[in-house]
Amino acid sequence: AQKITQTQPGMFVQEKEAVTLDCTYDTSDPSYGLFWYKQPSSGEMIFLIYQGSYDQQNATEGRYSLNFQKARKSANLVISASQLGDSAMYFCAMREKNYGQNFVFGPGTRLSVLP
């Protein structure tokens, strides 16, 4: 079974608009971390934002925020005021405390920002 699901293979958004990228996860571990990474066409993986399973508030980092709904096991990334440079692949990843220290990645969502 997939541990991380990203149901949107591709998304389009108009410049300056907000966009939500979906991520749902599956774990029985009560302690876990959720991460979002951006991968531009150049290939590198850039860390964007982190949400802990025990965090009471949704994480925010500049224009990035995470809509964390624990009961639904979803951790959607919200990008506000999209910029052309936001066009990239976006990966949701999870790390479970009791299942090792490696990340499990989702299949990614390709975001295209339109001028």
Partner 1 sequence: EPEVTQTPSHQVTQMGQEVILRCVPISNHLYFYWYRQILGQKVEFLVSFYNNEISEKSEIFDDQFSVERPDGSNFTLKIRSTKLEDSAMYFCASSELRGQKETQYFGPGTRLLVL
- State the residues that interact with partner 1 by CB under 8 A: 31-33, 35, 37, 42-47, 50, 52-53, 91, 93, 95-97, 100-108
Smallest separation (angstroms) from partner 1 to the CB of 76: 18
The residue among 32 and 68 lying less far from partner 1, judged by its C-beta, is: 32
**Buried b / exposed e along 61-82 (16+ C-beta atoms within 10 A):** eeebbbbbeeeeebbbbbbeeb
Smallest separation (angstroms) from partner 1 to the CB of 46: 8
Smallest separation (angstroms) from partner 1 to the CB of 67: 19
CB 9 within 8 A of CB 78: no
CB 23 within 8 A of CB 106: yes
Q: How far from 20 is each of 67, 75, 79, 80, 103, CA to CA, in Å? A: 9, 10, 6, 9, 22
The residue among 73 and 107 lying less far from partner 1, judged by its C-beta, is: 107
The residue among 44 and 115 lying less far from partner 1, judged by its C-beta, is: 44
Smallest separation (angstroms) from partner 1 to the CB of 33: 4
- DSSP structure class, residue 19: E
